[in-house]
Structure 1
């Protein structure tokens, strides 16, 4: 037996279904676009990246159970997703079967045999579009720390809001503070009944304040459906709005009065508890939204990380021991998560085409043979740069683009 036959396997297989090998073809090359110009004897070409390797294998199914073998092969070909091809020479290769890629031929002259011809394309796993993935561990930890932060402010309000046994005007002052907090922009919030809530005591007040910082209590926030839970798309604008609310609520905390009566001091302290409590719940909501957000670029992820971590750090200056530790843990978890997120995202950068370049051509030049990034670029370039005509961007004008990951 010659050397080349000694190295070849007698069969090839797809998803474990063997076929006796007779011959195979392999085609490869580059994806070239030809530019033809009327009235000119010049042909321009443009390299659009590597073409996928295409395998064509021929073989035979043999034996008394040939039709059972045929059914197994048909099932292997029609199963969704990449398949493992064991090539006679190249060994194991992940492929996808081309449309109408399987041909079976029968002959009355050759009983007990089915001729097979299979065409498939190599599946490059490293260049596939990202699909739904498992929730990252950093996201889970950041979400848990953010929820725990809200829990710590539940306990903070229950522990520090003092209303029982005090004059009615102290409760009225707390209710007025709660009304003022509910009137804070940027949201039009579905109002709570402040006097009844205050009369119910600290735990009820904490639950009411926490409910204010949820999407279902928002009448109108840009980019957010106020009737549904926050999803990955609405998380980024919700985080920004929650940070705004946290800052404005903290600013409403009254300053302690030196030399005032005991009841007056308690009334001011209650106002500070309510303001800091709402601010803490807003920070908790912002951190939870930051954990769920899906920024499009590393710069957006880094900016979100800076905004959330700065707000949490600022709150730590006024926090007691319990809420301080919860704020610190949430801050560390959010920074860890968004740092990891930013590392896997493209960067926003500027690219200046040297000649008139249609958007489709520009996307191929920028992103090579990555089909997911090319398709994203074709949609993203006109929208990001507000091009008047996507087929004819202005020559020499820098375009904002996302770098290739």
Structure 2
């Protein structure tokens, strides 16, 4: 990954009010002192003129939404492979759900909604086809070549791989957006990332906006995996009775609506669980803000993690997560599809490694050492259906090339 380039923020976050020429409007008025502000951003890797009628973080969000990688999320899945049904969550619907949850939390805490939305929408841009099974397979293939991790791949997408602008590779996002995308990072990789990797080496925290997006991600995927698991028939309501967080809302829903059944009952319970988690997150984080009393973003970075659930709700959420691991992610039907997915990813990687001429020209390189990374970029960018199609092209005799 390339190091940081000069190119800080070039102007304040202000737009002109309609019909009021020359009268600036502060687009981030009302934020708490510990919120991230565009006007105080650490900037972009390449300097650009300031945007009109939007803040720098709004510009980041817009670039993410218009990116090729974001559109591909529609055909990348969470647990179920894309061809298994149109009603299951995709990475795109998941990212939108994360953004909705994160914005609700950010608004209540008076931090930057535009930044938290940009981070939420971008957090899965580097995910492989076939969810975690695809990532695990690609990481195994890349062992000895620096490994593969989807957070670093998301960063590679926004820093290098998107091709939308004449002046630079990638999307040239603000430091704070890129920082939020990079949730995890080994010390080895952190040393290669310059300023962006410093917090992993120094034990510091990212912005509150990044912390919010991280937990919103967990809230969204845990609860919506429950919904998809029930819809698929891999989970049952009877099984979920052992989970306190589920059962308390099941009983409350049935008490309020005695006749409720089926999908309506599931939706009623899931929405109540999500609401409980969001309200608790806001309340506990508010208590932490009062406790640590940060007066600036630098204070947030120096403090312990501030965005958190209460101890009781954290225990309940962890129990739900363990339940999903045992009963959904390790369900034999999910494991069968995961096994197929890993065979596909590994087969593609091996074929391209054995003969890079099979790759599209844009991913071929004369540098033998960098060729595996180019193969990883190509495979990681595939949708589920494209990976299946590419596999058939390479290994199934047909007229398709």
TM-score by length of 1: 0.21
Q: Which has the higher helix share?
A: 2
Q: Return the structure number with greater relative CO, CA threshold 8 A, min gap 6.
A: 2
TM-score by length of 2: 0.21
